[in-house]
Amino acid sequence: MQPAPDDEFNLSVGVDPAGGVVAPSEQPLVLELSDDSFDSAVMNNGLMLVDFWAPWCSPCIALTPLLEEIARDNAGKVVLGKLNIDENPVTPSKLGVQGIPTIFITRKGEVLDCFVGAIPKADLMRRVSPFL
């Protein structure tokens, strides 16, 4: 059973599905996004790395642990959102995503930076650091 969009929204803003408040340190580091949850998740989070990916994409798979490490190392400052483009084709199409992995760096819904392709962690940090 898929979680209701409200459940995904609640996780992104620090409320667990049971209704309790989640401390920032306990908020999920990685949000699984969908076409239904994308707008609310991106609008209601501070700094967010949004990874448009697919399970068959080798560069996407290679980039995932680096993105997760950045989210873990900067917990409370940045959240990683992952959107599988095969299961959720509407959002990438609407945003003009043409290649994967595509990473959007957003804050409260505003796209601050965007890049395509797997890059080394040092280059990722150079892209993210100015916004932390």
Structure token pair of residue 28: 């999920």
pLDDT of residue 25: 53
pLDDT of residue 111: 96
CATH code of the domain covering residue 111: 3.40.30.10
In which domain, by residue range, is 33 found? 5-12+27-131
pLDDT of residue 5: 39
Question: Is 35 inside any structural domain?
Answer: yes
Question: Is 21 inside any structural domain?
Answer: no
Question: Is 17 inside any structural domain?
Answer: no
Catalytic residue among 33, 42, 48, 60: 60
Give yes or no: 114 in active site: no
Please give the full DSSP string across 32-71, using - where no structure is assigned: EE-TTTHHHHHHT-SEEEEEEE-TT-HHHHHHHHHHHHHH
CB atoms inside a 10 Å sphere around CB 25: 7
Catalytic residue among 57, 66, 116, 125: 57
Show Cβ contacts of residue 80 under 8 Å, excluding neighbours closer than 6 positions.
Answer: 29, 30, 31, 48, 49, 51, 67, 68, 70, 71
Question: Is 22 inside any structural domain?
Answer: no
Q: What is the pLDDT along the chain (132 residues), one digit of tens a residue?
A: 333 334 433 333 343 444 444 445 556 789 999 999 999 999 999 999 999 999 999 999 999 999 999 999 999 999 999 999 999 999 999 999 999 999 999 999 999 999 999 999 999 999 999 999
The β-bridge relationship of strands 110-116 and 30-33 is unpaired
Domain count along the chain: 1
The β-bridge relationship of strands 78-84 and 30-33 is parallel
